Amino acid sequence: MTAAPDTVVVEADGGSRGNPGPAGYGALVRDAATGEVLAEAAVAIGEATNNVAEYAGLIAGLRLALDHAPGARIEVRMDSKLVVEQMKGAWKVKHPGLQPLHAEASDLAPADTTFTWIPRAENADADALANRAMDGDEVAPGPVGSAADEESVIEEIESPGAARTEREQDQAGHRGWSPPTGAPTTLVLVRHGVTKHTSAKKFSGGLGGDNPPLSEEGLAQARAAADWLAGLGDRVDTVVASPVRRTRETAEVVADALGLPVEVEPGFAEMEFGDWDGLTFAEVAEQDPEGLEAWLGSLDVPPPGGESFREVEKRVLGGLGRVLEQHPGRTVVVVSHVTPIKTLVAHTMGAPLDAVFRMELSPASVSVVSFYPDDKAPGGVRGSMRLYNTLPPGNGASIDPGRW
Cα diameter, the chain: 88
CB 202 within 8 A of CB 348: no
Is residue 327 annotated as part of the catalytic site, yes or no? no
Contacts of 397 (CB under 8 A, 6+ apart): 390, 391
Q: Which of 68, 95, 102, 192 is catalytic?
A: 192
User: Among candidates 306, 330, 307, 334, which has minimal Cα distance to 320?
Assistant: 334
∠ CA 297-300-302, nearest 5°, is 85
Q: Residue 218: enclosing H or E segment and its boundaries?
A: helix 216-229
Q: Which of 270, 272, 307, 313 is catalytic?
A: 270
> What string of H, E and C letters represents the secondary structure of 301-342?
CCCCCCCCHHHHHHHHHHHHHHHHHHCCCCEEEEEECHHHHH
Is residue 192 annotated as part of the catalytic site, yes or no? yes
- d(C-alpha 208, C-alpha 266), whole Å: 12
How many helices, marked H, and strands, marked E, lie in the chain? 13, 12
Contacts of 194 (CB under 8 A, 6+ apart): 214, 215, 217, 218, 221, 363, 364
Eight-state DSSP code of residue 5: P
- Crossing angle of helices 99-108 and 50-68, rounded to 10°: 20
User: Among candidates 237, 253, 245, 213, which has minimal Cα distance to 326?
Assistant: 237
User: Measuring CA to CA, how many Å separate 229 from each of 41, 153, 365?
Assistant: 28, 9, 11
User: Among candidates 133, 79, 74, 141, which has minimal Cα distance to 108?
Assistant: 74
Which residues have a catalytic role annotated?
Answer: 192, 270
